[in-house]
Amino acid sequence: MAMLNPPRSLPGLARSLVNFLAASQKEWSEKELIATVKPEGLNDDKTAGDGISNTLAVLRAINMLSTGDDGAVSLAEGVRDVDPPLNVTKFRRLLHRHIFDAERDGDPWTRQRGDGDTSGARDLVRALSWFLAQDALGEPLSWVEKVQPRQSSQFKTDDHTEWAIQNDTRWGAFSRWAPALGFATPLFVRSRSCLVPLPVVAIEDALVDLPLDRLPVDDFLARLARRIPVIHGGAVRTSLVARLESDPDPGVTSEAVDSSVGQALRILEGRGRLLFERLPDAKGTLLSRFDEGRVTHVTVVLGAKK
């Protein structure tokens, strides 16, 4: 089972289902859940419950739900102790823990035959690693104009099975999950729905686990990449680059911070969540390929403005 196919899964519905199951403290059949979430008569189309079924399938894939031999659906071990209701932030952080599970999924860029290639969150994690390797300072990404031709060029093949995102149906699902997980900003450009690779929210979530000390910038970025393996320096991004034989991000090729990470850090600096310093005689790095001064140290700031 994959996260991008079934195509009608909904992140907001996933949070509602987890909160409902946590509050009810009982097992439900899938049919009962569909009847509860979509009351009879609301929409009688035979596919009306697909969004619920697809979302349940995604939650099973990442071990947030379990289904018994009798078909009863319940919260999986490790999720049962959540204190409902989970708000958007708490649920997003819970999703991160279940999506970035290397013990379960291994290296998603080590391709496998059959269903194993998309088991767990492998398909979504591959997609995120490729998406965040695109230029955050370039044009927003839409399927036809940017995503298809870039994948063809970067993977050096028109065989869609070798791509990170294989078709427009999976791009549609990705376009819901990436913003919900804090890795993208949606835009509407020239009558097209687009995404910008801008992981501000995901990086701000990760700051909670970092010390409030002044850190050398390289140490700070390495710690961040250990917590978010799909950004530059992370294990999944490194595996992608090995597959592509080069990193497609212009910031990296200019020996600056990856453009999506650099832009996100700038925004977090503006919000007062990060403090950058440029100390003399210390090793530094450019936050953008357009910068002249190098940042040498970073401090995470507690209780910043929104």
Radius of gyration from C-alpha coordinates of the chain: 20
pLDDT attached to residue 183: 98
Query: Is the residue at 258 inside a domain?
Result: yes
Per-residue pLDDT of 202-211, as tens digits, reads 999 999 999 9
Domain edge (last residue) among 197, 225, 249? 197
For residue 306, tell me if it sits in a domain.
no
Of 177, 197, 217, the one marking the end of a domain is 197
Q: Are 33 and 56 in contact (CB under 8 A)?
A: yes
**Residue 305, domain member (yes or no):** no
Higher-scoring residue by pLDDT: 258, 49: 258
pLDDT at residue 306 tops 70: no
**Does 173 fall in a domain?**
yes
Report, as an integer, the average pLDDT of 14-26: 93
Query: Model confidence at 41, in pLDDT bands (50, 70, 90)?
Result: low
Same domain, 191 and 207: no
- 108: closest CA among 237, 219, 194? 237
Residue 27 lies in a domain: yes
Same domain, 276 and 218: yes
- Both 27 and 81 in one domain: the answer is yes
Mean pLDDT, residues 128-145: 96
Distance CA 57, CA 62 (A): 9
Residues spanned by the domain of 186: 103-197
Residues 6+ apart with CB under 8 A from 36: 20, 28
User: Would 5 be classed as within a structural domain?
Assistant: no
Q: Is residue 53 part of a domain?
A: yes
Identify whether residues 141 and 189 lie together within a single domain: yes
Nearest C-alpha neighbor of 210 from the set 224, 199, 200: 224
Question: How many whole angstroms separate alpha carbon 269 and alpha carbon 57?
Answer: 38
Q: What contacts 24+ positions apart, CB below 8 Å, involve 216-219?
A: 216/282, 216/283, 216/296, 216/297, 217/283, 217/284, 217/285, 217/295, 217/296, 217/297, 217/298, 218/283, 218/285
Q: What is the CATH number of the domain that holds 59?
A: 1.10.10.10
**Cα–Cα distance, 77 to 201 (Å, whole number):** 27
Do 292 and 214 share a structural domain?
yes
**Residue 25 in this model has a pLDDT that exceeds 80:** yes
pLDDT tens digit string along 250-288?
A: 999 999 999 999 999 999 999 999 999 999 989 999 999
Residue 146 shares a structural domain with residue 232: no
pLDDT at site 117: 87
Three-state secondary-structure class, residue 185: strand
Domain boundary among 70, 93, 116: 93
pLDDT band at 304 (very low <50, low <70, confident <90, very high): low
The pLDDT assigned to 141 comes to 97
Count of structural domains, the chain: 3
- Give me the phi and psi of 151, to 5 degrees please: -65, -40
pTM of the model: 0.95
In a domain, 3, yes or no: no
> What is the pLDDT, as a whole number, of residue 39?
65
pLDDT of residue 190: 75
